[in-house]
Amino acid sequence: MSEAVQTRKSRHKGELNPRLAAYKGVWVFIEHERGQAHSVSWELLGEGRKLADLLGVELAGVVLGAAGEETRRFCEEANRYGADQCYLMENEVLRDYRNDPFTKGLTELVNTYQPEILLLGATTQGRDLAGSVATTLQTGLTADCTALTIDPENRGLLATRPTFGGSLLCTIVTLNYRPQMATVRPRVMAMPERDVNRSGRIVEHPLALAEDDIITKVLEFIADDSRGKPQLPFAEVIVAGGRGLGKPENFQLIRDLAEVLAAEVGASRPVVQAGWVEPDRQVGQSGKTVRPKLYIAVGISGAIQHRVGMEGADCIIAINNDPNAPIFDFAHLGIVGDALTLLPVLTKAFRQKLATMKQTG
């Protein structure tokens, strides 16, 4: 990514190579693994719909997979979440995700049907695929975007993402290359409405590859045992702790409060880096993005790289002993005070409150 920091107005107004100006349409790659579509695909369709409407073009989903009902169902779902049509590439080599056939397939579709925007989820699969596709197409790719919109002057994609380790935001444009590619992390965009009655076209396109053509083989898939593991991205209530807690032992106070609220435990990057908690619990730009109903941030300063991971929460409560901490700029409720004294008291108060509600409820 370019490190130029100065504010720059877009040059080359309206100078897009006419061949590239013919690229039209917004595409969303529909990611799936083992029969399950990744919900980020639907979130991106929601965002893609807005972009397509701004541009006055069509929104399409892109599904690559093995021939069969399952794969077709993804196309139908894509249409239900707002796509006008869905490109479908079926081939046995696409049964499990592998970089080579998926890159070849997606680039062929792009070269044939020429979308101006291509969005993928910033998951392990999406990032693996996006980098290869962008390099093959020799086009621009912006990763981990937190906001997407269209520049009314030139119809270009404006992709916003954190920069400088998350301390600032920047907007990136891909002026003279098509398609403009972007990846977005799960849970950053809101889930759109699913219209069960909505349907759209399915455009089939073959992929001329055989298994012998592919060097990398999938020997096995070992599913995670997700019992007992943190499930932050979909948690509705999260209590998160940061460096303001002082010592790793103090993190227990976070766990205590989380237990009373039946909440997931989250953490800021510094305490994960310091080894106080597992990396799975990290909330933020380089951790998980969350959209809970309630997010309690304790001893967390609220730097941008953390903020972008949780500012979608309905209610953000911040506890910090620094009245100037940036977190108070975007939290809903705040207390300036010592976390170590407040946490146990708050835990007790919540416990009593919930017990009362349970009785009267």
Residues 194-213 contacting other proteins, CB under 8 A: none
- Nearer to other proteins among residue 190 and residue 262 (C-beta): 262
Answer yes or no whether residue 330 interacts with other proteins by CB under 8 A. Answer: yes
Q: How many CA atoms lie within 13 A of 255 on its CB side?
A: 9
Give dist(CA 10, CA 158) in Å, integer. Answer: 11
User: Which residue in 301, 261, 260, 305 sits closest to 282, CA to CA?
Assistant: 305
d(CA 244, CA 357): 32
Cβ-based nearer residue to other proteins, 202 or 237? 237
Contacting residue, 25, 105, 162, 266, with other proteins by CB under 8 A: 162
Which residue number, 312 or 337, has a Cβ lying nearer to other proteins? 337
Shortest Å distance, C-beta 306 to other proteins? 12
Of 199 and 252, nearer to other proteins (C-beta) is 252
| 261 interacts with other proteins by CB under 8 A | yes
Q: How far is the CB of 266 from other proteins (least distance, A)?
A: 16
Q: Which residues pair with 289 in a beta bridge?
A: none
Read out DSSP for 101-156? HHHHHHHHHHHHH--SEEEEE-SHHHHHHHHHHHHHHT--EEEEESEEEE-TTT--
Q: Interaction with other proteins in 63-102: which residues (CB under 8 A)?
A: 96-100
152 scored as a contact of other proteins (CB under 8 A): no
Applying the rule CB under 8 A, the residues between 300 and 329 that interact with other proteins are 304, 307, 314-318, 327-329
- CB-wise, 195 or 322, nearer to other proteins? 322
Alpha carbon distance 10, 7 (integer Å): 10
Total binding residues toward other proteins, as defined by CB under 8 A: 108
Q: Which residue among 143, 258, 267, 300 contacts other proteins (CB under 8 A)?
A: 143
Q: Verify binding: residue 36, other proteins, rule CB under 8 A.
A: yes
**Closest approach of other proteins to the CB of residue 91, in Å:** 18
22 binds other proteins (CB under 8 A): no
Q: Applying CB under 8 A, does 255 fall inside the site for other proteins? A: no
What residue has token string 């590439």?
A: 89
Angle subtended by helix axes 99-113 and 124-137, to nearest 10: 50
Phi, psi torsion values for 316, nearest 5 degrees: -110, 120
Q: Which is nearer to other proteins, 84 or 129 (CB)?
A: 129
Closest approach of other proteins to the CB of residue 68, in Å: 20
Give the strand pairing for 264-267 and 157-163: unpaired
The residues in 101-120 that bind other proteins, with binding defined as CB under 8 A, are: 103
- Distance of CA 277 to CAs 203, 235, 248, 270, 282, Å? 47, 17, 8, 10, 8
